[in-house]
């Protein structure tokens, strides 16, 4: 009797337990949302690759005629890295956007990339010169496409998984990364690439400065003490980098801010327009000869 009473007590206690289900975040994977975020991820990847390619071209001084869709001068690993980073970034955005089926959408978004590198592989196998893996043309025309055909879906899959872990931070309705959808219509072609290229250029320039004018140690501790010219140059570059990051952060905060009064909207628009002009000017100043 005691054991039966104890069992009934346990059942009664369990019946009073309130199971709290985690709140679902992200947008419903309707056909419209699914298609739009896939197209967005593809466009984002193209823009990021172009911005990264511009930085690579600038630092390696690659002539414009040697910059193509598949081949960037004599680079090999940097071209692979740029493609994978762009693919993962687009997939990450998908992960932050869709409440479900994000990984499926990411794999669909990477399909054009895989098809492109498959085509490059077919052309490379047909026209690549005879030689081993040490031959640069063989690596660019055969090895690189094979590597990207294999690794691009992995980058998309794990990029979307990473985005899913941050989905709860981007819950603003009708937005991507908490930025309203209509802003992306002008940001993708006129603002995002400029931000990425200028910011990445400054970071790489700072690292290169350490190895060119310092001992190569990051952040060059010996030179910070004994090399006055290095110290001044590094401080200037750090201030420039901090200013660029602050400008990007401020622009993002304005774009994600809820609509206020008419005067406030006009003020935000003026500030954002000033940032657009600033980054266009910086990009033209740094990469003018390659544009």
Alpha-carbon gap, residue 102 to 79, rounded angstroms = 26
Q: What is the pLDDT of residue 1?
A: 47
The more confident residue out of 45 and 132 is: 45
Cis upstream peptide for 219 (omega within 30°)? yes
Phi-psi region of 169 (alpha: psi -120 to 50; beta: other; left: phi over 0): alpha
Judge whether residue 57 has pLDDT over 90.
Answer: yes
Q: What is the pLDDT of residue 89?
A: 97
Judge whether residue 14 has pLDDT over 80.
Answer: no
Judge whether residue 13 has pLDDT over 60.
Answer: no
Alpha-carbon gap, residue 178 to 186, rounded angstroms = 16
Three-state DSSP class for residue 129 = coil
Which pTM does this prediction carry?
Answer: 0.84
At 24, is the pLDDT very low, low, confident or very high (cuts 50, 70, 90)? Answer: low
The more confident residue out of 288 and 216 is: 288
Q: What is the pLDDT of residue 122?
A: 87
Q: What is the pLDDT of residue 15?
A: 46
At 226, is the pLDDT very low, low, confident or very high (cuts 50, 70, 90)? Answer: low
Q: What is the mean pLDDT of residues 108-116?
A: 97
Q: What is the mean pLDDT of residues 33-44?
A: 96
Query: Do residues 73 and 60 lie in contact, with contact meaning Cβ atoms separated by under 8 Å?
Result: yes
* pLDDT above 70 as % of the chain: 81
Mean residue pLDDT across the chain: 85
DSSP assigned state of 157:
H
Q: List, for residues 178-189, the tens digit of each pLDDT value.
A: 999 999 999 999
Q: List, for residues 120-142, the tens digit of each pLDDT value.
A: 888 888 876 665 555 567 667 78
HEC letters along 217-280? CCCCHHHHHHCHHHHHHHHHHHHHHHHHHHHHHHHHHHHHCCCCCHHHHHHHHHHHHHHHHHHH
At 17, is the pLDDT very low, low, confident or very high (cuts 50, 70, 90)? Answer: very low
Give the least confident one: 94-108, 195-209, 212-226: 212-226
At 20, is the pLDDT very low, low, confident or very high (cuts 50, 70, 90)? Answer: very low
Q: What is the pLDDT of residue 223?
A: 62
Three-state DSSP class for residue 177 = coil
The more confident residue out of 142 and 59 is: 59
């Amino acid at each position: 009797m005691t054991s039966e009473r104890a069992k009934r007590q346990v059942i009664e206690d369990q019946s009073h337990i309130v199971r709290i289900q985690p709140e679902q975040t992200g947008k419903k994977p309707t056909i419209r949302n699914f298609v739009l975020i896939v197209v967005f991820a593809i466009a984002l990847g193209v823009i990021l690759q172009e911005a990264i390619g511009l930085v690579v071209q600038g630092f390696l001084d690659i002539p414009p005629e040697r910059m193509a869709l598949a081949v960037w001068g004599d680079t090999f690993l940097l071209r692979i890295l740029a493609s994978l980073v762009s693919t993962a970034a687009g997939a990450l955005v998908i992960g932050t956007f869709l409440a479900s089926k994000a990984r499926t959408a990411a794999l669909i978004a990477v399909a054009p990339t895989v098809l492109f590198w498959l085509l490059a592989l077919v052309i490379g196998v047909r026209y690549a010169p005879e030689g081993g893996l040490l031959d640069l043309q063989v690596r660019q025309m055969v090895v690189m496409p094979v590597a990207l055909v294999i690794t691009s879906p992995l980058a998309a899959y794990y990029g979307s998984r990473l985005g899913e872990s941050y989905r709860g931070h981007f819950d603003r309705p009708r937005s991507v990364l908490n930025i309203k959808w209509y802003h992306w219509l002008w940001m993708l072609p006129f603002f995002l690439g400029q931000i990425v290229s200028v910011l990445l250029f400054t970071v790489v320039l700072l690292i290169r400065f350490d190895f060119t004018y310092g001992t190569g140690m990051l952040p060059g501790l010996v030179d910070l003490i004994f090399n006055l010219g290095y110290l001044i140059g590094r401080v200037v570059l750090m201030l420039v980098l901090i200013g660029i990051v602050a400008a990007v952060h401020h622009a993002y905060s304005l774009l994600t801010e809820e609509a206020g009064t008419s005067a406030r909207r006009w003020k935000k628009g003026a500030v954002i327009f000033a940032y657009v002009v600033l980054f266009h000017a910086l990009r033209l100043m740094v990469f003018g000869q390659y544009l």
